[in-house]
Every structure is written in structure tokens, then in C-alpha cells.
Amino acid sequence: MEAAKRRQGALRRHLTGKSEEDVVVVCALRTPITKARKGGLKDTPADDLVAAVLKGVLDKTGVAPSDIGDIVMGSVLGSGSQRANECRIAMFYAGFPEEVPVRVVNRQCSSGLQAIADVVASIRSGFYDIGIAGGIETMSSNPMAWDGSINPRISDFEKAQGCLLPMGLTSENVAKKYGITRLEQDKFAVESHARAIRATETGRFDDEILPVRTKFVDKKTGEEKQVVVAHDDGMRKGLSLEKVQKLKPAFDPEGSTTAGNASQISDGAAATLLMKRSEAQRRGLPILGTFRSFSAVGVDPSIMGIGPAVAIPEAVKAAGLQTSDIDLFEINEAFASQAFYSCKKLGLDLGRVNVNGGAIALGHPLGCTGARCTATLLHEMRKRGSKYGVVSMCIGSGMGAAAVFERE
């Protein structure tokens, strides 16, 4: 009953137009996304990355640090208490006063998007009028691992066992269950790289990327030098289908998921500045987009990659829309198998999905991805004059998340 009321309310809002109480995005920035352990940000600490994007959104908008009601950052792999402290430290690097609070949220691969949804919910609830949401991951420093032992009780719960499957095996499960072929996955991956290269060479990412001044240590010589990292470095120019087809399966000798059709481990951070529409109007700030709806749903952990296929319809319905109303999609490419399946299941035009490439080419810094995809989506919507856009991703342990944005 409550869910139905929320959908009806969303529909009424959609039909009646803008409201001063709408929560809008006035700025969305990200660092370059670089290869873990060998890319441009491999030697950059998490607090420096967070500080860069926090300061970036303030410099871009002229909003005073003391005006921020809260900062919420998504993060997955960093130690909970340490990452929370790093984000607090980053605030001070960026010039925030001690009165501004911060917290870290972890809903695995959707953490950056969850942070945005959390800030939106707080603004709608009247807790504050302005907030920053984003995400951070330094997979160079914090590799994926399971700490400690595993509770033997898990042997009695089949669904719980699925939560511990390597993500690559869940990709294989999706491919096998839904008949996604190796050729379909490899073609999807090659296109991701081609689109990312094209977007980079034509300056498509320039409005969203915040160059980072940092250090880089040469692994061979140990020499440290100061650099400015201004571009993503994961995509491969001229990558051919023939080359990708030669790669061996990475998780199952008889499988179809390879290093070439899966997302890259990466480093990066992103942040969005959100506020009520009335606040944005009072300050004379341009509005990139209005946050219309959010959904987080659970699915079978063993096929966790299908999450977007379930979450997107929920979010779109909550916004009073249909999937056919959506102009652009940013669907995280954890694996080509699940991203392609989700598009196929929903009947999406691939020409409207990840038009500037996705995580297979750009990388997937887990806690950052949701905020990175939001920045990419909103800037591309502005360039194209799109009205509605969706950000979505699958989530480890069996979930999916999606959010709908409307452009002014």
C-alpha cells in the first residue's frame, strides 16, 4: 500500500512539473578513473582523492563549505573505521570547518549511488538543505579480499552460499542461464572501449573530469615525480574483436568471462552537490538534473548481475515513467554478460546505453562507480538535450540499484 502511494505521488509530481522542494544536482565531478596498481592514481591516498572532489564541487559552484549539511561518501573495500577517518581528514584538506559532518555508506557496487540517494532523502526530510554525496575507491591500496574465517553455518543456507561466490562465477552463471554467448560479450566489450576512446578524443568527458595533481612512483626505479592526472587510462585504442576473442576464460575453463569482457579494477573518486530547487534558484546555480526516484532490490546472489534488469523497472515506475521514456542509460559494466543481458531483458536500444563506454573500458572503482556514472550521465544528458536518464548497477551478494534523473 505504501509503495503504491509513493508511486502515485511520483506520478502526480511528474504530471504537474517542477517543485521548489525537488532535490537537484548542481554539480557532478569525478577524478580520472585509472588502472589499479599501475595507473596514474596508484600512489594517491584515498583522503587526497576525496579532498580533490570535495574541493572541486565547492570551487565550481562557489558554495561555502560551512553551508553543507552533510557529506556522504560511498566506499566498499577500505577498512570501515579507517575509511571513515580518511573522509573526515579529507574534509579538512578541502577546507571544511569542523562543524560539517561526514559518514561512509557501503552497499557494495552501488555505494556511490546509495550515497546520493541518502543525501536526497535527508534533504527531502528537512534535515538540511544542501549536501554532498560521492564515492571513493583505491583498489591499488585496498584489494578485494575476505577477512577472517567463514561461519560454518553457511553450509545450511544455499542462498547464503551464493553471497561468497567469486563475482566472475556469477557472471558465468548469468551467461549460462540466459544464453549470453561469448561472441555477444566480446562484441559488447570492444564497443565499450571504442566508445570510451571516442569520448576521450572528442572531449566528451572534459566537463566531468577534475584533473588531480599527485605523485607517481616508478616501480622499476623507485623515482617519485609530481604529475597531473587528467584523463582515464583504462581504455585501449584500436582494440579488436579478434584480440579479445583470443583471451582465455578467467574463472571457468569452459566459460566465457575473460579479462577482456569484465570490468577493470581501478582507482578514483567522484562527488555531487545536491540541494533543494529553491536553494539552487536562490543562489543562481545551474541545475544539471532533478533526482526523481531510486530503487534497490534483491536478487539471487548466484546471478547477482541481473540486478539492473529488476531495479530499473522499479525506479522508472516510481518516477511515473516507462522504460521507453528514458533517453540515456548508464548501466555499470561489471561484466559484459550481465550488462548485455540486462539490456536484452529490458529491450533497450544499445545506442542509448553507455554511449561513452562503461566499466569494461573505464574501470570500476567499486565505491565510486555510482557517483561516477551519475556525473557521466548528467553531463551527457545536457550535451544531448535529453530529458530522462537512468543510472543502474548490479551489486555483489545479489542486489540491483537504479535511479532516475530528469533534466531541466
- The owner of cell 577517518 is 85
Task: Report angle CA 171, 172, 177 to the nearest 5 degrees.
Answer: 100
Instruction: List pLDDT tens digits, range 135-167.
Output: 999 999 999 988 899 999 999 999 999 999 999
Q: Which of 27, 87, 193, 364 is catalytic?
A: 364
Active site residue 193: no
Q: Which of 27, 87, 368, 394 is catalytic?
A: 394
E strand intervals along 265-354: 266-276, 289-298, 328-331
- The domain spans of the chain are 1-143+262-402
Q: Which of 27, 87, 109, 373 is catalytic?
A: 109
**What whole-number distance in Å separates Cα of residue 401 and Cα of residue 24?**
19
User: Is pLDDT at 16 greater than 50 in this prediction?
Assistant: no
Q: What is the residue type of 119?
A: V
Mean per-residue pLDDT, 296-323: 98
329 strand-pairing partners = 353, 390
132 strand-pairing partners = 71, 273
Task: Report angle CA 391, 287, 293 to the nearest 5 degrees.
Answer: 35
Counting DSSP H helices and E strands in the chain, the numbers are 13, 12
Active site residue 109: yes
Mean per-residue pLDDT, 31-57: 98
Active site residue 87: no
Instruction: List pLDDT tens digits, range 113-132.
Output: 999 999 999 999 999 999 99
Cβ atoms of 309 and 59 closer than 8 Å: no
Average pLDDT of the chain to the nearest whole number: 95
Hey, which CATH number is domain 1-143+262-402, 1.20.140.10, 3.40.50.720, 3.40.50.300, 3.40.47.10?
Answer: 3.40.47.10
- The pLDDT value given to residue 2: 56
3-state SS assignment for residue 166: coil
Instruction: List pLDDT tens digits, range 75-105.
Output: 999 988 999 999 999 999 999 999 999 999 9
Cβ atoms of 23 and 124 closer than 8 Å: yes
Cβ atoms of 212 and 52 closer than 8 Å: yes
Whole-prediction pTM value? Answer: 0.95
